[in-house]
Structure 1
Amino acid sequence: MRHVLTNADEATVRKITENATTPGVWLKTFVSPEMLTPWLAPGWSVAGGPGFLMSAPLRASHAEVPDGYRLRTWGRADVIRTLVRTADGAFAARGQTAVTGSTAVVDQVETDPAHQRRGLGRLVMGTLANAAAGQGATVGVLGATPEGRALYETVGWHVLAPLTSATRGPGPVEA
């Protein structure tokens, strides 16, 4: 189960985290980790460090596939995926987006560390933006890590709010 709170407050977070005792339950909210942590019930912890909700207008752009790489883009069940592989077929980068009306939600953008700083993140983001715009989306949103934020800001995205995740751990709650 996953709870996403667009307007988090201490009472709501406490109620959810005290009642959700099953391991693996997630809570995502638009407050800083420092604010969320004291609101969590025992057995819960902040997961993954700080994050950011980001957004950008989607515009058609052209990005060249760097020499030595192949780009494949396809859709399945309202999700557009793009994958970059090396000439010999090894994974280099990927990402996906789902278009929901005028908004596209970008997710799972990743570049293999051995292939960073070669324009592949920019290629993936541009390819996803073009595909989403082609389906009528005018704005994109995503959740970013601090490392991802640096890439997204270079391609025109901006931070809307902090994004923090917490999860219920597998151990028993200690009184």
Structure 2
Amino acid sequence: MVEKPRISIKLLGDCDTLRRLLPSNWQVAQQMYAMMRHGDAVDPTPIPPEYHLDATDGNQGVAAFIFDSKELLAASGYAVEHAGLFVYDRIITEPDYRRRGLGRHIMAALDNRRFSTESQRFLVASAEGKALYESIGWSVVAPYSSAVIPGV
């Protein structure tokens, strides 16, 4: 059994189940959702002219960033593809830029950089993000929970 602080444990299951499985010194995080998307990518409407998208490929995966006309970061996201799985990570739209479709543009930019269209798309979403992803064709495959022994 893990006894050191700051080591996480993950479960494809709900928070209550994870909480019951662990000693009381573990701290269970907010409920998340494992999600997958099948079918074609969703192409958003054209990016508004006051924004521009930068997407890059690297050895460790792909990254996409949307900047406003003042070069302030409005949205970003990352993904990596390995063994038939394309995993999206840290998809963020900054608070002042939400509800403008920028998250959809980030998702499309990352999706367009998949090496194989056969790769299964996967992400872990917060409750807030879950609604966005469902609106563009993603489905929950399981609740996703994590816990950690807090550090001192």
Q: TM-score range by the shorter chain?
A: over 0.9
In the TM superposition, what are the counterparts of 1:66-105 in structure 2 within 5 Å? 66-105=48-87
TM-score calculated relative to the size of structure 1: 0.81
Identity %: 29
Q: Which amino acid aligns with 1:59?
A: D
Q: What is the aligned counterpart of 1:144 among 103, 125, 130? A: 125
Decide whether the 8 Å contact of 2:34 with 2:142 is kept in 1.
yes
Q: What runs of 5+ residues in structure 1 fail to find an aligned partner?
A: 1-18
Q: What runs of 5+ residues in structure 2 fail to find an aligned partner?
A: none
Per-residue CA deviations over 1:61-89 (Å, capped at 9, x if unaligned) read 53321121110000111310000111111
Post-superposition shift, 1:60? Answer: 4.4
In 2: Cα distance, 1:91 partner to 1:101 partner: 31
Q: Which residue of 2 aligns with 1:159?
A: 140
Q: Which residue of 2 aligns with 1:169?
A: 150
Count residues in correspondence.
150
Q: Which residue of 2 aligns with 1:46?
A: 28
Q: Which residue of 2 aligns with 1:62?
A: 43
In 2: Cα distance, 1:65 partner to 1:40 partner: 46
TM-score calculated relative to the size of structure 2: 0.92
Per-residue CA deviations over 1:107-142 (Å, capped at 9, x if unaligned) read 00000011000010110111111111xx11432000
SS at match of 2:96: helix
Decide whether the 8 Å contact of 2:42 with 2:136 is kept in 1.
no
Decide whether the 8 Å contact of 1:54 with 1:141 is kept in 2.
yes
Q: Which amino acid aligns with 1:111?
A: T
Decide whether the 8 Å contact of 1:101 with 1:136 is kept in 2.
no
Post-superposition shift, 1:58? Answer: 5.3
Larger radius of gyration: 1
Q: Does 1:20 align with 2:26?
A: no
Larger RCO (alpha carbons 8 Å, 6+ apart) = 2
Per-residue CA deviations over 1:8-54 (Å, capped at 9, x if unaligned) read xxxxxxxxxxx21111000111111111112112321102x111000
Decide whether the 8 Å contact of 1:111 with 1:121 is kept in 2.
yes
| Larger proportion of helix | 1
In 2: Cα distance, 1:31 partner to 1:60 partner: 27
Deviates more, 1:101-110 or 1:112-121: 101-110
